[in-house]
Structure 1
Amino acid sequence: MTTRQVDFSSAVALDLLMDKDLRSHVRFLVNLLGEVIAEQSGPEVYQVIEQLRKGFIRLRKEDDVELRQTLKDKIESLDELTLREVIRAFNLYFSLVNTAEEAYHHHNRQIQLRNGGNLWHGSFLDTLTQFKNEGVSIKQLQDLLEKLVFMPVFTAHPTESKRRTVMEILRRVFLLDEKLTEGLITPFDQQQIRNQLKRQIQLLWSTDEVRAVKPSVRDEIKNGLYYFNVSLFDAVPRSYRNLENALRRVYGDELDPETPIVVPDYLRFGSWIGGDRDGNPFVTAQTTEMAIALQKRTVIRRYLEDVTKLSFILTQTQPLCEINADLATDIELSEQRFAGAFSTNPQRFINEPYRRKLYMMRYRLKDNLAVLEEFFRPDLQIESLGVAYHNEDEFLADLYLIHKSLVDNGDIAIAAAELTDLIRLVKTFGFYLYNLDIRQE
């Protein structure tokens, strides 16, 4: 075997992965890791890793006292630099195995969704099917849903040593590995993805997995907020849609269009980070104030992004479309209250009522951010325009106004898409993102 094709495919724990496709994915990733190690650290390090790998595999199959001592002596003889490389190689190997396994299971779930078959245990479809088989009526189900509350709580756990940088690289590996399983893919695309994956593994190999210094409370807060931006903001509306689709599929023949099952806002989020003064002596009143400001900035930035996207979707133009009287009146009044929104171009979106309304909503959200920036950068002397939303209820009222106008004028499917997703986000996260627990004795 050449140093250009290092094969970790029989490494510790790989033989426990029974599925052929999964083994193939793991083999692919760890072979890339082997190439990177050979290129970056040289054949000597590779040979040590191979000797230890093969030796411990033999020990797993059959204990051998002499071989065990030989391997122990080999490890003890390694200089500090080589030992560090060996440890990093196997640690990175297991990270890649875990990533491949996550991508594999996610791909299988997507196949189940596309094929329309029964989904995995614990899914909405599986759970509702069990309910129906056990005779749970629609009324009983509605009562159960009304009691449903799910609140994941974030905490800066001391056992989580991985840097956010490393987690982001592993996330890119996950997404690239997913692309390889998307179905028809050309040899050229395969090679491109392979090259991209190898670059990510090179980055992993040359990036320290643990932090050089203990993270500050602000670092811990930002690490928690990271998951909202990369995952949760998209996952929350998808979760509601999955439940609604499962309800239609399982109970569709019993649903009354006049009294449909209402899916309540069952998701909420919480956190201790920045509020737990018992668990971290560096958490002060000022720290908690900063945590709340960071939360608010994170969620309002997302709303601003989504409102901007909506302005490229709700492009209906008068006289090709109609809007209801409430929205027309609101736009007229808002143009007077928020005249600054159109100070440079009074005619902007003049015949596109939804875009004109959304533009004024953006104007107000930007002022919400300006208020927060005053907290973070007092040296900049940023002045609020005085047009910011006072709370999420005001923002929701604007969204509902647009939603009702769309529905009233026949654009029901359009109203039920991205706009409804944004409404779900606002009802879940408000202007505060999550409940921050304050703990102090």
Structure 2
Amino acid sequence: MLRKPKIQRFNESVLSKYQIYNSLFLTLPFDDISNTGAFLPLFSEICAKGYQDNQDPTTIVDSFFSKFFNDKPEEERISLLFKFIQYIERQVVLFDAIEDAAFSIVNNMDGHGTLRNVKEEAQAIGKLEALQSHLKEFKIRPVLTAHPTQFYPGAVLGIITDLALAIEQNDLTSIKKLLAQLGKTPFFKKKKPTPFDEAVSLIWYLENVFYQSSSKIFNYIQNNIFGDNELSNDVVKLGFWPGGDRDGNPFVTPEITLNVADRLKTAVLRNYYRDIRKLKRRITFDKADVIIAELEMSLYQNIFLPSKKNTLQKDTFLSKLYEIKQVLIENHKSLFIEEIMDLINKVKLFGFHFASLDIRQDSRVHHNVLIGIVKDTIENNLGIFPDNYESLSEAEQIEVLTKVSGKIDPEIITDEMAKATLKSIYVMQEIQKYNGEEGCNRYIISNNQTIINVLEAFAMIKLTGWTKPTVDVVPLFETVDDLQHAKMVMEALYNNEEYKTHLASRGNVQPIMLGFSDGTKDGGYLMANWSIYKAKEELTLISRKYDIKVVFFDGRGGPPARGGGKTHQFYASLGPNIENKEVQLTVQGQTISSNFGTVDSCQYNLEQLLSSGIQEIFNQEKSELKEGDRATMQQLADVSYQAYTDFKAHPKFMPYLENMSTLKYYAKTNIGSRPSKRGKSDKLLFSDLRAIPFVGSWSQLKQNVPGFFGVGTAMAHFEDKGEFDKIKSLYENSLFFKTLIENSMMSLSKSFFQLTAYMQNDDEYGEFWNLIHDEYLLTKRLLLKLTGYNELMEDLESMKASIKVREEIVLPLLTIQQFALKKIQEFEKGKGVDSALIEVYEKMVTRSLFGNINASRNSA
């Protein structure tokens, strides 16, 4: 039977079901929201027609009230708007659940990029051995982070999961109950979560999703690609940041880190216990039944104990499972051998740590911390640092840092940050002792600029008595300048004798992290991505020169402006001059729930990542950039960088963000434990802006500047010179550039300038708004010219349809948000300010942030 086109499957399994269940949802009577469901469609219709008629949000809201609530006081009108917000954010949840339920129908689970497809292609061209060889080394490492780009509290995530299952089973009774539950479940968090709270929320995904999908992938590779030859490579490794990411988060303490590691171990033991309980019902044979009963009891006793008191060790657990396997082979005709191997494979993947907990801190903090340590060690006559350390030249400081050793008691350190930093390294050792080395073996240095930044962190590691540290020191290069200097920093490190010895002990493997989010914020869309591409080429070359295997770890966000978008296509597009034995990337916020929120979606997207790194076995010509195309890419990046730099330098850039966007409201949402900006200055500085609220604020305005600004100007530079064919050549020859263009199209597709068109007449910000709008129009025109499309994303009909529905859902929400922002501005400019009313409208702005961000889950 012919498979229906993807857009048809989407329309039948997602769009039609949403229309049906949304109709049901709108009729449910919730406390304090009576009749809201009847008025919301009317309000949505007035919003859509109003923008078609070039009306502004205030006019649209006022016209709705004059038509339906003309005799109602302002208090009741405000109440209705809040009820609309409640409904809309729940409509987004409903749509999420329906898309989750239909994932395996809309997406071909055996199609291009899946393991079955890869295996069959390899078999067809006689490359199965080459595939096996590649999979003996290649790994993927998704690293879950708690960066606040998703607003769903844990209870709502649970409802999405249950609702998706009920929709998949067409269980109308359960659906009605779950929709009613959804209507009564609060979305707004009254207080910020702690880092431990964030960890617990994400561990849910490890326990309920990644545990199943990762092991399914490993089992498939073992059974269908390797057969009887046991695979020793853990092809899917999991990373974890909540509880270990100290960068800009004063609430992450050494105690929190220990508690999170303990919770991770408890979670994986709990999953093993569940599996052992199931196995015990099957393995009821002589000898094997005794061993499995002992394992069940041992797991039960250890689940509820702190790691320090655990008696069960990973190696013991694994050896007992192998013992059961042998008994089944020798005495019971290998009955249920696959079930035992499934658990053995899970222990190989997850150990007793579940996911590796990374520690991260900013280089500027490290520097201040080290100076504090230097002063205290000198004062205590420990003889570790020379008295004149601070006045030494950089070369002399490098010499001291390289040779430093000792064991400092953190309690002698007077500076609290320095004390906590040292303690966090002692904590790493403790986690390794009880959870295994992979429990916590990477120290990431944010904002890395020089070799000193790396050696300061390395010196602190050695000052905890860790003479042969089983830890990788990972520099993170983020800004355009830092990316350009990365090669020089790493070559200096590779020539440092002490660090060379350390690398040798780590198998001559050097992980290097590259920051897409802050890179884009700093240099604009094209320059950030091109700078990272070139940095990877240079770092690969210099690492190969010194016989070092470099592993790139990409700090990617959800939307294209933060390195998201078509992630799998991006990795498949990297040329032969970029090392690709591993794909490591951060997964955060709505990207976790959208790409990895169900077992099906998680397995599919993990397989896509795996396949993106093994394309070379199919003799496909790697997309190495030709000299002419490289020159074009460089010129595009340079021109766009200048345009973006000039844009940032515009005198209205920061005031516009501060006064016309939702930037300052992010701190009030209580969605993450981390402060919404760096620094303590009352004045808003660009350098203090975090990438997430920066990109998010443009998204709330429906302007999505970071995903396109400068792209149009750069392309127009070639068009004006009659050299547009050079860009066409680059687009046709480079999958890397094609991916960038398609991701930028996604940013444009989610822009809606009619929402803020009223700003073009603003005395203070009108010129600036027009500057942004002109770049949008220019970029859109030239992207369509380049691709030959009649409309944006026309080759991705199902994704475009999903975006369209989501944008329609949140349009009333954004209208309310702009209406409230305008009210606040009017109050603040007027006399006799009603502070109570301002507070109400500020709350309205804050509440309206949620639904729009959640609706953007398909941006990755």
**TM-score (structure 1 length as normaliser):** 0.71
Query: How far did 1:127 drift?
Result: 2.3
**Distance (whole Å) between structure 2 residues aligned to residue 436 and residue 272 of structure 1:** 6
Q: Structure 1 residue aligned with 2:323, among 387, 396, 401?
A: 401
Q: Structure 2 residue aligned with 1:101, among 92, 99, 102?
A: 99
Q: Does 1:427 align with 2:348?
A: yes
Deviations 1:338-378 (A, max 9, x none): xxxxxxxxxxxxxx4222211212232234235318x7xxx
Q: Structure 2 residue aligned with 1:313, among 282, 289, 303?
A: 282
More strand by share: 2
Output the amino acid matched with 2:157: M
- Size of the aligned set, in residue pairs, is 347
Q: Does 1:238 align with 2:220?
A: no
Cα distance change on mapping 1:38 and 1:70 into 2, 3 Å: farther
Cα distance change on mapping 1:50 and 1:146 into 2, 3 Å: same
Q: Structure 1 residue aligned with 2:61, among 72, 84, 87?
A: 72
Cα distance change on mapping 1:20 and 1:39 into 2, 3 Å: farther
> What SS is found at the alignment partner of 2:141?
coil
Cα distance change on mapping 1:421 and 1:74 into 2, 3 Å: farther
Structure 2 portions without partners, runs of 5+:
1-6, 66-73, 367-860
Q: Which residue of 2 aligns with 1:33?
A: 25
Q: Structure 1 residue aligned with 2:111, among 104, 114, 120?
A: 120
Cα distance change on mapping 1:291 and 1:38 into 2, 3 Å: closer
Q: What aligned pairs does 1:163-182 form with structure 2 within 5 A after superposition?
A: 163-180=153-170
**Distance (whole Å) between structure 2 residues aligned to residue 424 and residue 72 of structure 1:** 58
**Distance (whole Å) between structure 1 residues aligned to residue 169 and residue 132 of structure 2:** 39
Q: Which residue of 2 aligns with 1:304?
A: 273
Query: How far did 1:178 drift?
Result: 0.9
Deviations 1:274-313 (A, max 9, x none): 1111231111111111111111111112222222221111
Q: Does 1:46 align with 2:44?
A: no
Deviations 1:176-234 (A, max 9, x none): 01112xxxxxxxxxxxx212111111111111113121001110111111112222222
Query: How far did 1:67 drift?
Result: 9.6
**Distance (whole Å) between structure 1 residues aligned to residue 351 and residue 183 of structure 2:** 40
**Distance (whole Å) between structure 2 residues aligned to residue 31 and residue 242 of structure 1:** 41
CA RMSD of aligned residues (A): 2.9
Query: How far did 1:28 drift?
Result: 2.2
Cα distance change on mapping 1:79 and 1:434 into 2, 3 Å: same
Q: Does 1:292 align with 2:264?
A: no
Answer whether contact 1:75 1:83 (CA < 8 A) is retained.
Answer: no
> What SS is found at the alignment partner of 1:212?
coil
Answer whether contact 1:225 1:298 (CA < 8 A) is retained.
Answer: yes
Q: Does 1:353 align with 2:275?
A: no
Q: What aligned pairs does 1:34-433 form with structure 2 within 5 A after superposition?
A: 34-37=26-29, 41-43=33-35, 45-58=36-49, 63-65=52-54, 71-74=60-63, 79-108=77-106, 119-133=110-124, 135=125, 137-180=127-170, 193-244=171-222, 247=225, 260=229, 262=231, 264-316=233-285, 352-372=286-306, 388-389=311-312, 391-417=313-339, 419-433=340-354
Answer whether contact 1:22 1:104 (CA < 8 A) is retained.
Answer: yes
> What SS is found at the alignment partner of 2:255?
helix
Answer whether contact 2:144 2:202 (CA < 8 A) is retained.
Answer: yes
Query: How far did 1:74 drift?
Result: 4.1
Answer whether contact 2:139 2:235 (CA < 8 A) is retained.
Answer: yes
Q: Which residue of 1 aligns with 2:374?
A: none
Query: How far did 1:40 drift?
Result: 6.2
Output the amino acid matched with 2:346: L
Query: How far did 1:69 drift?
Result: 6.7
Query: How far did 1:409 drift?
Result: 2.9
**Distance (whole Å) between structure 2 residues aligned to residue 161 and residue 403 of structure 1:** 45
Cα distance change on mapping 1:69 and 1:154 into 2, 3 Å: closer
Answer whether contact 1:162 1:211 (CA < 8 A) is retained.
Answer: no
Cα distance change on mapping 1:240 and 1:215 into 2, 3 Å: same
**Distance (whole Å) between structure 2 residues aligned to residue 364 and residue 38 of structure 1:** 48
Query: How far did 1:84 drift?
Result: 0.9
**TM-score (structure 2 length as normaliser):** 0.38
Cα distance change on mapping 1:168 and 1:80 into 2, 3 Å: same
Cα distance change on mapping 1:91 and 1:366 into 2, 3 Å: closer
Answer whether contact 1:17 1:23 (CA < 8 A) is retained.
Answer: no
Answer whether contact 2:244 2:357 (CA < 8 A) is retained.
Answer: yes
Structure 1 portions without partners, runs of 5+:
1-14, 114-118, 181-192, 249-256, 317-351, 376-383
**Distance (whole Å) between structure 2 residues aligned to residue 313 and residue 290 of structure 1:** 35
Output the amino acid matched with 1:301: R
Cα distance change on mapping 1:108 and 1:412 into 2, 3 Å: farther
Percent of counterpart pairs with the same letter?
Answer: 23
Output the amino acid matched with 1:87: I
